[in-house]
Structure 1
Amino acid sequence: MTTLVVGASGATGRLLVRELCDRGEYVRVIVRSPHRLPEALINHDRLTVICASILELRDDEIAQYVGGCDAVAFCLGHNMTLKGIFGHPRKLVTDATRRVCNAIKANASDKLDQSDRLDKPTKFVLMNTAGNSNRDRQEPISFRQQCVIWLLRVLLPPHLDNEQAADYLRTKIGQNDGAIAWVAVRPDNLINEDQVTPYEVYASPTRSAIFDAGLTSRINVAHFMADLITREEIWNEWRGQMPVIYNAV
């Protein structure tokens, strides 16, 4: 199995790449700065590094890099600097998600034209946030939290970007697309840990992401995303959903 990881140089992306390689998977990564990857990963014989900015690639280049991949994992995010938060591109995750999905569909269409047969859909695993609601489930949100989320949408472009990226998968790809199947993983307050620890996964938040946030270690997020990619029973359980992951208390 081959997985394309976008955002592989980030704090969670690096962990996901290592987890997949350790499981014997082949991994391609698109990174602007390969020096941000650990040396042990760069030299891994199952890793292919593509030096590029995802939004600066041509459509045919994205299709080429997606081609032959069984899964795509997005750990892409905005840099937590003034330029990263308020500068362009403000729709980094949404636009990259849309373009990669279009590339997957283009490849699937070409394959059908050649053989009239399409294997199982490409898995698309998006790292999102517990602060984003799954509007397919009509998750209850307190009035106070609704007010804060509205302010975040207005004042912090990355939050709106995360919402719109997940909404693209929900509404544009949906549940029955022949080329793409998806899961949007929603961690809560992210922390760093050295080892995978017990964690819990729910279909909807069990606590307020604003007023009673839980903790989720990045390494646990990477482990769960790798499970979605490599373990069919986990994938089948969460396909087309937005599971929330917390460290076990």
Structure 2
Amino acid sequence: MTVLIVGASGATGSKLVEQLLERKQNVRVIVRSPEKLPESWKENKNLQIISASVLDLSDKELSEYIHGCDAVASCLGHNLTWKGIYGQPRKLVTDATSRLCDAITTNKPKQPIKYVLMNTTGNRNRDLNEPISFAQKCVIGLLRLILPPHVDNEKAADYLRTTIGQNNQFIEWAAVRPDGLINEYEVTEYEIYPSPIRSAIFNAGKVSRINVGHFMANLICDTDLWNKWKGQMPVIYSRSSLD
């Protein structure tokens, strides 16, 4: 299996890369600063490093990099700096998702390509009835006004839900929604739910980035697990945070 990953140098994307390499999968990463990647990656024969910004690549280049891939994963996010939050590109995740999906469609693969998007529990799955409190609605409304990355996450998932949909000939998708992200060094037990079981604003749980990478890798590699969650927005919590 060959997997293209964008956002691979990020805190969670790097965990996904490592999980896939452990499974002996072929991985292609598009990164702006390859010199910052671990030396072990550069020496790994199963890893192809593409030095570029995904939004700067031409449509033809994206199609060529995706050609031969069985899955595409986006772990893109905005840096938590003033420029990262309020600077350009404000629709980084949405535009990358749209362009990558267009590139998949251009290639007209014989079998649908899996697209796995890392999203957030702060975004509701509007295909389901996910009730939230009035107070949380107010906070989310405020976030939409003051935090462009939140809107970007919402629109990226909405693109998959509404534009790609459930019956696309070339693309199947899943949007993974982690709760509060933390750093840990080993995979621990975690639980997956169709919708949040806690308030993402007022009673958030926790999940390690390595657990998110592990689940995303399992989604990509495990056909039964993929069939269970494709077209959905699964929520992931580390089990320890639910005790």
Q: TM-score, normalised by structure 2?
A: 0.98
Aligned with residue 128 of structure 2, among 103, 128, 137: 137
Say whether residues 1:169 and 2:140 are aligned partners.
no
Contact 1:14 1:37 (C-alpha < 8 Å) held by counterparts: no
Equivalents in 1 of 2:183, 2:36: separation in Å?
Answer: 17
Instruction: Quote how far apart the aligned CAs of 1:138 are.
Output: 2.0
Equivalents in 2 of 1:168, 1:211: separation in Å?
Answer: 27
Structure-2 residue corresponding to 1:60: 60
Q: What pairs with 1:26-175 in structure 2 (closer than 5 Å)?
A: 26-108=26-108, 119-175=110-166
Once the two structures are superposed, what CA deviation does each residue of 1:156-202 show, in whole Å capped at 9, x if it has no partner?
Answer: 00000000000000000000001000000000000000000000000
Unaligned runs of 5+ in 1: 109-117
Unaligned runs of 5+ in 2: none
Contact 1:16 1:226 (C-alpha < 8 Å) held by counterparts: yes
Q: CA RMSD in A?
A: 0.7
Equivalents in 2 of 1:152, 1:39: separation in Å?
Answer: 39
Contact 1:15 1:222 (C-alpha < 8 Å) held by counterparts: yes
Equivalents in 1 of 2:37, 2:183: separation in Å?
Answer: 17
Equivalents in 2 of 1:138, 1:43: separation in Å?
Answer: 47
Contact 1:124 1:181 (C-alpha < 8 Å) held by counterparts: yes
Equivalents in 2 of 1:140, 1:35: separation in Å?
Answer: 45
Say whether residues 1:206 and 2:197 are aligned partners.
yes
Instruction: Quote how far apart the aligned CAs of 1:35 are.
Output: 2.1
Instruction: Quote how far apart the aligned CAs of 1:119 are.
Output: 2.8
Count of aligned pairs between the two proteins: 240
**Aligned letter for 1:171?**
T
Once the two structures are superposed, what CA deviation does each residue of 1:67-94 show, in whole Å capped at 9, x if it has no partner?
Answer: 1100000000111110000000000000
Equivalents in 1 of 2:117, 2:123: separation in Å?
Answer: 13
Equivalents in 2 of 1:36, 1:136: separation in Å?
Answer: 39
**Aligned letter for 1:120?**
Q
Structure-2 residue corresponding to 1:181: 172
Q: What pairs with 1:12-31 in structure 2 (closer than 5 Å)?
A: 12-31=12-31
Instruction: Quote how far apart the aligned CAs of 1:242 are.
Output: 0.1
**Aligned letter for 2:233?**
M
Equivalents in 2 of 1:186, 1:209: separation in Å?
Answer: 11
Residue aligned with 2:224, SS: helix
Instruction: Quote how far apart the aligned CAs of 1:38 are.
Output: 1.3
Fraction of identical pairs, as percent: 64
Q: TM-score, normalised by structure 1?
A: 0.95
Runs of 4+ aligned residues of structure 1 deviating over 6 Å after TM superposition are none
